[in-house]
Chains A and B, each alone.
Chain A
Amino acid sequence: MQFLKSLLALSLFVGMSNAVFAEEEGPFSKGSTAKTFGFQEEEKALFTGKVVDVLCEISGDCADNCGNGDRLLGIVRDADNKLILPLKNGQFSFNGPVEDLLPYCGRAVDVDGIMVGDAEVYGSKFYMVQKIRDAGAPEFRKANLWTKAWAKRNEESAKKKGPWFRKDPRVLRQIEATGYFGLGHEADRKYAAENQ
């Protein structure tokens, strides 16, 4: 049952687009084998670039080893020198990309994934990295390291049942303090009374 609940949560996160958008062909779509989901202004993107610490790249405030997982990482694309910002890795449970990019800090990589978002409105598209390898290496590996890294950081919580986000100590402390809507427990009780 818990597995089914987890599966539901994952499918909600990836595939619950209320509006399904048409996949578009982008300038870097050729050769991509990335999965698509019908996200907003979605297009496949396979490209080569260098993994960078974003803050270091734009301001000169640099940290050892790209911040060791504490900083946002980006990819400066070889083809046009654009700084591409990944928001998401290839996992389906609220995971960012830093664990998958960090091993390649300062190195040239090939990445495959999708660009999402309306650049006309937001100024840029943003990236979901699904696969990564050293530039020119024969095999990609999936960008799916986040949950294992979380389990390593949270050994006791990881032993409990359920997906990570339902037992993460940082999340639980906030829900304990201000409830599921962030407005206090009375707001949660009122909502439950009216809707359940």
Chain B
Amino acid sequence: MTEQNTKTITPKANRATLRGRPELYTDYARDQALLNTASKKLWTGVLVAVTLMLPFLLGRDLLGLLTLVFIYAIGGIGLNLVTGYAGQVSLGHAFFVGLGAYTSMFFGGAPSMTLRGLELDMLIWLPMAGIVPMLVGLLVAPLAARVRGLYLAILTLGLVFVGEHLFREARTITGGPQVGRRGAIPEVLGFNFYENQEILGFDLRREQIFYFLCFGLLIVLGVLARNLARSRMGRAFAAVRDRDIAAEVMGVPLLRTKVIAFGVSSFYAGIAGGLLPVAVGAINPERFNLLFSVEFLAIILIGGVATISGSIIGAAFIVLLPRLVQVAAPYLPLIGDVVSVEIAQRMLFGALIVVFLVLEPRGIYGMWLRMRNYWKAWPFSY
């Protein structure tokens, strides 16, 4: 051993060494920490604080949109785990989101003449909304693990069509086509998260309360996913993605890794599915179609493949884009008179996927990295 390595650095000395050298890591744990630099700590704190303040500043519709961003982000993180980290392209994400939605409605929804519902507590239906899709994901995964690449993409695409048919036909649970059903009741031990409440003397609107709930869930699930990604299992995911045969040679169990990736991803999808109908009010079985799957793929492609924060950025982008186009439409030529706003939104959606894949495959997160590295080294180019 060299002399340097034998020297142990005491925490005190460590702090002294670190001063003015934010990128000097003296142990592995610190290097791998979630918030490994002071500026990351600061800005994450600022971001969380701003997000927590937004409900008191924004109107009801914008708040609803932001809540949707959180829900889409949870689903997007799920897809990113299986597609971004483990490299298994799935076009079937909408199916798992739908399965979560209808599981939540079955366990937590109110029964009626035509609909079945158990009216259970959210402490039961929300985990169930994740667990049932996860079990189905675990069932499907061994089959999916047999095929690779584009065959897998098309196989999972089949899942969406089969799922759509199931959702349409299971009328007693889903309400049937064009009718749909309201979301489950988000009530935890008598406290309803979607009802105007008075908390600590504050009068809170139901949108605000639900916003906080979704934000909290996103943070918990996001940190969990991030931790999974930097654990042994996460490294196995990356190995399978980068070269699956080499991974197998190195002792990574291929089938087990793929199955776990699908299971965890479906769990996230299911949670997003459980929350989605509550946020949008009521939902039709037609919603869980191929387009919905592609939206999730767009989230991770535009946000950033194999990054958790990228999934959140992508979700914000995809959910807010239609609104942005709507707001900007009066100031833009063509939109409004030649092409309608709705068509412009959809064309932009398709075009953005193409543009990002061609020009910036790492997505918005990659753009941010480039910008950060540029300013970090400024005025030097490297």
Q: Do these two chains interact?
A: no
The interface of chain A, by Cβ under 8 A from chain B, is none
